[in-house]
């Protein structure tokens, strides 16, 4: 089942369960998916890879917004954002651990033959493609910098 269809089915389930937070979050996801499907050049399609990118972006935005609300002493709003981010993250693959990221980056460095920070872009490009959707870019970048600096 495509991710778009799964979201639609889960909206129905959230309605039946009267889960307000889940329903609101899923409706927002579907709205963004529909906007992506109808965007110029999308040919009225949305594959799962693009849908995952959208979900990652929404989850990241939710976490960042929650951090902003927390800094502004608005824990009530921060909790709402975190609850919505948690619902979104249910549809994302399990993120890689620091150790797993390091193993993949070491392999990429060996494959590309990178030896200095000058080649960070080459390593980051390959590593980011390999770990797309499974690791945050900041985490990958930190590991690459640490390994290339040594």
Task: Render pLDDT for 10-27 as a digit per residue (tens, 0 to 9).
Answer: 999 999 999 999 999 999
Plot region of 18 (φ>0 → left; ψ -120 to 50 → alpha; else → beta): left
pLDDT(92) > 80: yes
- Spatial distance between the Cα atoms of 30 and 45, rounded to a whole number of angstroms: 13
Residue 98: the pLDDT is 86
- Spatial distance between the Cα atoms of 141 and 73, rounded to a whole number of angstroms: 31
Distances (CA, A) of 87 to 16, 18, 25, 44, 65: 17, 15, 7, 26, 15
Residues 96-116 have a mean pLDDT of 85
Contact call for residues 37 and 53 (beta carbons, < 8 A): no
- Angle subtended by helix axes 3-17 and 20-37, to nearest 10: 150
Sign of CA pseudo-dihedral 38, 29, 2, 133: positive
Which residue would you say has higher pLDDT here, 116 or 4? 4
pLDDT digits (tens, 9 = 90+) for 39-68: 887 778 788 878 888 898 999 899 999 999
Q: Tell me phi and psi for residue 116, to 5 degrees.
A: -140, 175
3-class secondary structure, 18: coil
**Stated pTM of the model:** 0.72
Please give the DSSP secondary-structure letter assigned to residue 15. H
List of long-range contacts for 45-49, beta carbons under 8 Å, 24+ apart: 46/4, 48/2, 48/3
Least confident of 26-35, 49-58, 129-138: 129-138
Residue 91 CB: number of other CB atoms within 10 A? Answer: 18
């Amino acid at each position: 089942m495509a991710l778009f269809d799964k979201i639609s089915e889960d909206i129905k389930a959230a309605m039946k369960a009267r889960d307000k937070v889940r329903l609101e979050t899923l409706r927002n996801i579907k709205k963004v998916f529909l906007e992506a499907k109808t965007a110029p050049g999308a040919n009225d399609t949305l594959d799962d890879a693009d849908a995952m990118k959208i979900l990652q972006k929404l989850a990241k935005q939710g976490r960042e917004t929650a951090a902003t609300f927390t800094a502004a002493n608005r824990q009530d709003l921060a909790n709402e954002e975190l609850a919505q981010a948690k619902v979104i993250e249910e549809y994302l693959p399990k993120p890689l651990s620091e150790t797993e990221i390091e193993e993949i980056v070491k392999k990429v460095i060996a494959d590309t033959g990178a030896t200095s920070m000058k080649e960070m872009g080459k390593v980051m490009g390959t590593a980011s493609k390999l770990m797309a959707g499974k690791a945050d870019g900041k985490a990958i970048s930190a590991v690459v910098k640490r390994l290339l600096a040594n």
